[in-house]
Amino acid sequence: MAEVTNFEHNGASIEASEPPEAMGGIGDNVIGLVGTAPNKALGVPLDSPFRINSFTLAAMLDPTGLEAGTLYQTVHQILKVVKVPIYVVVVEEGLTDADTLNNVIGGIDLESGQKLGLQALGVCPEAPTIIGAPGFSSEQAVHSELASVGKRLRARVVLDGKDVPVSGQVTNSQAIGGAELGYDRCYVVHQMPAVYSKAAKANVFLPPSSLAIAALASVKQWESPGNQVTYAADVSRTVEYNILDKSSEGDLLNRYGVSYYARTDLGGFSLIGNRSITGKFISYVGLEDALGRKLGKAAQKVMAKNLTKEFMEQEVKRIDDWMQTLVADGTIPGAKIYLHPELNSVEKYKNGTWYLVIDYGRYAPNEHMIYQLNANDEIIEEFLGDVL
């Protein structure tokens, strides 16, 4: 007889399927730094990210013990506070300060295509969440480049303030800015902290951003580094701080988006400041960046899939399940995920475009507590009623 063309199988078939892959946690901090280390070990490359996660590896930045360059002490101080991956991009010290600054700014080698200086942060195997160039980032040419790199990498940027009095720092702040240029993710620090140097056998001053980077890395990306106690033994410029005084120098700096180190009741010097140079809470920036990086990775796995009803509903559920875990662990207060009712049109769909909306809340840092002390005669009357 002829073959039965619609016959498939006289028996059972088992087909297994898996639910959408879990998206996992947001991730931890990774630091990216650019600076100098003239006595570096041979194993530390120039203009290429070198991963450090221990004091042993940090010692390779200057095995001579002279602590030369801008990177050695900064990395050492970060590791004293928190153990996170630190990628350093070592650049050559030039014949002049201007030459060194050019090396820090970097660019692209036209012959080899290698990314140099700050641009090399973009090729770190782990995406940095915090970047800086301590000792160089007070210069406009450097901080503008850092802001641009930070915007592209979705990383917060810690900048050195200029070595000027409070009034001068306020003026400096007014000359910096532009959220669209990436400055809403830039955390500026006013004065230099002092730490002990074995090489100098005395305290030495570090760039303002150095200990602030450690403070930022020691908290979660969606938390503020403000009020973190540091290892600073002293500061280059004393800033008046009073938690109850709105007219203090410290309050003025914070009003213009500049953070600083001050003695507090916690003991020693704490980092004071919750906002970027544009006034945005730096914790809001960290949360947005963390969500953006995770969503980007999740999207990569499903690119080119057919936009079926089942697929779109599945993606909404997958992201909603993930966001609800962030609600449960206290990262965010709430979230809603849905397909945009107006933007999802026939023309957009035919072009392979669809809109998935993620509404979410965020926790603000405790920046201003208001205590109301009310003298109440009724309480006195009750007291006298009990006495008389």
Query: CATH number for the domain including 248?
Result: 3.40.50
Q: Give yes or no: residues 273 and 381 share one domain.
A: no
114 & 229 share domain: yes
In whole angstroms, give the CA distance from residue 294 to residue 382.
Answer: 59
23 within a domain of the structure (yes/no)? no
> Judging by DSSP bridges, how do beta strands 335-339 and 186-189 pair with one another?
unpaired
46 in a structural domain: yes
Strand pairing category for 234-235 and 193-197: antiparallel
Phi, psi of 219 (to 5 degrees): -115, 165
Closest CA to 288 of 330, 343, 331, 336: 331
* CA gap 96, 94 in Å, rounded: 5
262 and 340 belong to one structural domain: no
pTM above threshold 0.75: yes
Report whether 33 contacts 332 (CB < 8 A): no
Residues ≥6 apart with Cβ < 8 Å to 287: 221, 222, 331, 332, 362
Q: How many domains does the chain have?
A: 2
Say if 334 falls within a structural domain.
yes
Cβ neighbourhood burial of 354 (10 Å; 0-12, 13-18, 19+): middle
Q: Give domain status of residue 253, yes or no.
A: yes
pLDDT by 10s per residue, the chain, length 388: 677 777 666 566 666 655 666 666 666 899 999 999 999 999 999 999 999 999 999 999 999 999 999 999 999 999 999 999 999 999 999 999 999 999 999 999 998 999 999 999 999 999 999 999 999 999 999 999 999 999 999 999 999 999 999 999 999 999 997 888 999 999 999 999 999 999 999 999 999 999 999 999 999 999 999 999 999 999 999 998 988 888 899 999 999 999 999 999 999 999 999 999 999 999 999 999 999 999 998 888 899 999 999 999 999 999 999 999 999 999 999 999 999 999 999 999 999 999 999 999 999 999 999 999 999 999 999 999 888 7
Could you tell me if 267 and 356 lie in one domain?
no
Q: Do 183 and 236 reside in the same domain of the chain? A: yes
> Strand pairing of 107-108 and 50-52?
unpaired
49 and 127 in one domain? yes
Tell which of 226, 254, 284 closes a domain: 284
Considering the domain architecture, whether residues 149 and 232 belong to the same structural domain is answered as yes
Same domain for 272 and 325, yes or no, is no
Range of the domain at 382: 305-388
On whether residue 294 sits in a domain, the answer given is: no
Q: Are residues 118 and 167 in the same domain?
A: yes
279 and 315 share a domain? no
Q: Which residues have CB under 8 Å from 124's CB, separation 6+?
A: 30, 32, 49, 87
Residues 309 and 280 in one domain: no
